[in-house]
A and B are shown apart, each in its own frame.
Chain A
Amino acid sequence: MSGPYARGNRATLTRVKAAPGARVQPGRMRAIDANEDESVTDDGAAPQGAAQTLDNRGLEPPMPMVRTLEAFERLPSGGTLTIRNDRVPVHLLPQLDARGARYQVEELADGGARVVIHKGPGPEAAR
């Protein structure tokens, strides 16, 4: 199976690269450095400052939200989770607010969205 949907059903760990020139919604996270390119491990335990990427394209709601929130909770403090969705995940954002996450939403030219989620001092401390 090829195409974008082939990546949809598993947590895909790749390297983060912000799209230069992408529109950035007013978010609560630091601006993405266009040259940022951080290493990751593929066991889900991202080291401090490292990034994890999750491709949620081609999934039926609410699976993108489920995968994102699970991955977020596994993320260590200071870690960054970047998700790629078919559209801006407006229903996810309040859930991230409730967990004390900081995030930045980029709308992409193809109608999709990339959200960079930063786990700060930990949900307990954030609450």
Chain B
Amino acid sequence: MTATGTPAAVPLRFLLSGVGLFAVAWIVLSVRPDLVTAHPLHPGVLTVVHAVTVGFGASVLLGAVHPLVPVLLGVPLAAPRWGGPAWAIFTAGAAALLGGFWTSSYGLVAAGGSAATLGTLVVAVDLLRTARRARRIPWPAACVLASVAALTITLLLGLLLASARVVPQLAPFAVGWTPLHLTVGLAGAFGLAMLGAGHALLGMFLLAHGRSFRALRAGAVGVLAAATFAASTRFGPALWREPWREPWREPWLGVTSPALIATAAALAVAAAALLLDATTAWKRRMRRRPDAAVAGWLVALAWIPVAWGLLMLGRPSDAVIAFLLGAVGTGICGMSIKIAAFLTWQHRYAGRIGVDGASDAAPTPTLADMMLPRLARWTTGALTVATLGVLVARSGTALDAVLGPGLALALPTVAAVLGATAACGALAHLTWIVAGPHRPRSEGTSTTLAPSDAPTRTGAVA
């Protein structure tokens, strides 16, 4: 049991199934590299996108909130036993959803989406009840809670879109929701989660305490504004929603309607806030060298301005790829390693600390002993290169001219295989952390008062 009263198995199950579905997404791309350049509404593309968003991102988010929100709020979860059923319902729903997209069976998509929404709602209600017990809700917790709310809204919107394919009478109500579905899902669920969880976790793992919440506030306002502007693409006046025409349209600008420009501007504020917060953590860190898992998170943040730039250049699909595979995929793979290590350490080893004879019989490993830094670094690097490869492969004729037709044809396959290998590496890493026979790598890792993986004061000051 964790300190929150939640069985450690619940968040670990969410993490393992989430990273597993991330690997599935990359494996599908390896088997079908033509999907790299296919239309965004191709069934295979929809399957891969939702494997990354619902299967991977949402699953890891729902798992991470179980240990994280109690820490941020300072109170235990209100209903920790709900976590197990929530995981089962959500994961079964996600699997059905993906099967539905792959087979273009929108009845199955709607059924799977309903189950995934129900699983998310169970967690959301638990978090809401937990938040009501808290004395105060600090900004990092508010961002994380809002991200779960945004995930719920995204799933409901997706459910409406899928249901409209099954029930024709619903079709008129489903028109125009896609920009909001995308914005609330990507910026609301994942962006806010990266803001709130990133602030808290970087503070803990880089030892960068005492940062202000100004960046979080600005980021939250940016995401809220972006969602509002995205909603206005459905409800706003025609002049606001419709693309500008020549001569008003700038030739370099791909985002052409006032509503979308406003959405992109708000997203820029949110992205800048996220990067500013991480930069502040880096500058104020007491730990000079982050471990490989945290470094993966930091490297992933570099994809955010890339995604925004691609959006402004009128390449929204590329922007989504850069954000999902680059920022969310690489970042979450990195941080989930750290979260899993902490949960497993607490579950397997915390009970031994200080107990006479326990550490003599089996030395207690530190968090560092439980992680495989080389594998984590390789995963981060390979996912980064694979994402870059996918984006380059989508550049079409320009790629043929630079690489030649043969290499250009092979690039999607190479990138996808690299990504699949990296995602499987992340899954293997998680499995090792959860079930591996960890051994202390160095002396001084016994349960003495001498710090183990904490930095020394003199060595840690930036």
The SS class assigned to the B binding surface is loop
* Per-residue interface assignment for chain B, residues 71 to 85, with 1 indicating a CB less than 8 Å from any chain A CB and 0 otherwise: 110111000000000
Which residue of chain A is the closest to B350 with respect to CB atoms? A95
Kindly state the separation between the CA atoms of A71 and B205 in the bound complex, as whole angstroms: 23
Asked whether, in the complex, the Cβ of A63 is within 8 Å of the Cβ of B5, the reply is no
How distant is B214 from chain A, measured CB to nearest CB, in Å?
16
A61 contacts B342, C-beta separation under 8 Å: yes
B3 contacts chain A at the CB level, 8 A cutoff: yes
Q: How many residue pairs bridge A and B at CB < 8 Å?
A: 108
B448 at the interface (CB under 8 A from A): yes
CA distance A57 to B204 in the complex (A): 10
Contact with A along B169-198 (1 / 0, CB 8 A): 000000000000000000000000000000
| A63, B75: Cβ atoms closer than 8 Å | no
- Let me know if A9 and B207 touch, CB within 8 A: no
Q: Is the CB of A91 within 8 A of B454?
A: no
Q: Is B288 an interface residue (CB 8 A)?
A: no
- The docked-state distance in angstroms from the alpha carbon of A70 to that of B352 is 10
Digit string of B1-42 for contact with A (CB within 8 Å is 1, else 0)?
Answer: 111110000000000000000000000000000000000000
Which residues does chain A contribute within 8 Å of B458, judged by CB atoms?
1
User: B interface, how many residues as a size bin?
Assistant: 35 or more
- Residues on B with C-beta less than 8 A from A6 are 457
A5–B457 contact, CB under 8 A? Answer: yes
Chain B nearest CB: distance from A11 CB in Å?
5
**B135 with A71: CB separation less than 8 A:** no
Q: What 1/0 flags go to A66-78 for Cβ under 8 Å of B?
A: 1101111110000
Across the A-B interface, the 10 shortest Cβ-Cβ residue pairs? A73-B354, A91-B3, A88-B74, A69-B353, A70-B354, A69-B354, A94-B3, A90-B70, A63-B454, A1-B457
CB-defined A-B contacts under 8 Å, sample of 22: A5-B457, A6-B457, A8-B457, A10-B449, A61-B204, A61-B205, A69-B350, A69-B354, A70-B353, A70-B447, A70-B448, A73-B353, A73-B355, A88-B74, A89-B3, A90-B4, A90-B75, A90-B76, A91-B67, A91-B346, A93-B76, A94-B3
Interface residues of chain A, those whose CB is within 8 Å of chain B, are 1, 5-6, 8-11, 23, 57-63, 65-67, 69-74, 86-95, 98, 107, 111, 113
